[in-house]
Structure 1
């Protein structure tokens, strides 16, 4: 794979395992460019029969994916191009990234060492498996504090993974969940001591890549992802109604003024968002 064309990703392959390192300083927000590059990278990997597993990690130990860029709608041209090129009918650009992960022919694994909020949390839940550092990882759907709801499939992934009652808790509180709680809820596979996370994920990825020919494909075919198209449409309609309102604009602009999308502000983003709302 040619990795030189990517500005927000680093892609390497070895022994049947591809590693994609997410790298969009300073806090790994999900920009339209990153979404386009993920789409391109996953498309290239899907066509590579030598790859059986794709592992995602972050170049920033504190932030896996902070969340979607709060100014992503200013990148409308790139979003429109994404929708035209890759999004299935009725699926928005954010949901399309999740669908790529959920339907990818190879096994997708997230190695979560830092925080994943909003679209970052959706990315984690869309992958086949996710393992998190017990001491440092956190995951949360913060959108309600921004005056919106998840729009990248988060409502649907949560209901499927953790059940309606816990999905309501995660979406309506906007709280950041620690790795042990996320694992107990079923949001991620398990929490692992931070010092062991790299070796743990590497072992799982290598063992899967070493399985006899046809096993990975057979398992993924008999355990397909659920069809979420109806839920996606409902999520998109609800999000669109809120994002156009004055509260969402006020809250996100206020958050940016208070330090959102900076390393300092993102460390305690939930408290920052609540302060910005006052």
Structure 2
């Protein structure tokens, strides 16, 4: 489950701006949440999306006012904790994603094929040289990486 604070959340997949695709299952988890077409838009567009868009896409369960987020998540946690023994495990067994194993392998192969490319090396090194790993760099990561790619 995922929740986003309206006015404070920014979510995106910017790896394409570094010359790679999202790794470690990022592509498969994204497809399972938003579908193939939206996943292609998110990965190839490499934009930052607000909470409302993330909710509309199915990326997060709900977009909620920032001052209500803790209360909503706490209430959900209490509700889940109060369930009878075995219900949580049974629900997780019954509600399964698609063929995640195959998707993870395909995503990994795509990532490995890209991460060793000269373009990815140039973009990743350039990003680090320009502070992509710093707090300020992360605040405008899309802009920083677009500047390097252009």
TM above 0.5, yes or no, is: yes
One of 179, 186, 200 as aligned partner of 2:58: 186
Supply the distance in 1 between the matched residues of 2:107 and 2:89 (Cα, whole angstroms).
Answer: 31
CA-based RMSD: 1.2
Is 2:127 aligned against 1:269?
no
How far apart, in 2, do the equivalents of 1:159 and 1:225 lie?
10
Shift of 1:253: 0.9
Deviation by residue 1:122-173 (Cα, 9 ceiling, x = unmatched): xxxxxxx011111111111111001000112121122222111111100101
In the alignment, the residues of structure 1 paired with residue 52 and residue 27 of structure 2 have an alpha-carbon distance, to the nearest angstrom, of 21
Aligned residue number for residue 18 of structure 2: 146
Structure 1 or 2: more strand by fraction: 1
Partner SS, residue 74 of structure 2: helix
Compute the TM-score of the two structures, normalised by the length of structure 1: 0.52
Say whether the 8 Å CA contact 1:254–1:277 is kept in structure 2: no
1:241 is matched with 113
CA contact (8 A) 1:138 1:178 kept: yes
Unaligned stretches of 5+ in structure 2? none
Unaligned runs of 5+ in 1: 1-128
Using the size of structure 2 for normalisation, the TM-score is: 0.94
Give, in angstroms, the shift of residue 205 of structure 1. 0.5
CA–CA distance in structure 2, aligned partners of residues 237 and 134 of structure 1: 35
Q: Per-residue displacement from partner, 1:29-83 (whole Å, max 9, x unpaired)?
A: xxxxxxxxxxxxxxxxxxxxxxxxxxxxxxxxxxxxxxxxxxxxxxxxxxxxxxx
Aligned to 2:5: 133
CA distance in 2, matches of 1:130, 1:208: 15
Q: Does the 8 Å CA contact 2:4/2:63 hold for their aligned counterparts?
A: yes
Which structure has more relative contact order (CA 8 Å, sep 6+)? It is 2
Deviation at 1:231, TM superposition (A): 1.6
Structure with the bigger percentage of helix: 2
Deviation (angstroms), 1:277: 2.2
C-alpha separation between the residues in 2 aligned to 1:187 and 1:157? 10
Question: What's the offset of the Cα at 1:183?
Answer: 0.5
- Report if aligned partners of 2:10, 2:49 keep a CA contact under 8 Å in 1: yes
- Partners of 2:32 and 2:93 in 1: CA distance: 19
Between the two proteins, the alignment pairs up a number of residues equal to: 150
Kindly indicate whether residue 71 of structure 2 is the aligned counterpart of residue 199 of structure 1: yes
Superposition map of 1:1-16 within 5 A = none
| Aligned pairs (5 A) from 1:32-111 | none
Inter-partner Cα distance in structure 1 for 2:101 and 2:80? 30
Q: Secondary structure at the match of 2:132?
A: coil
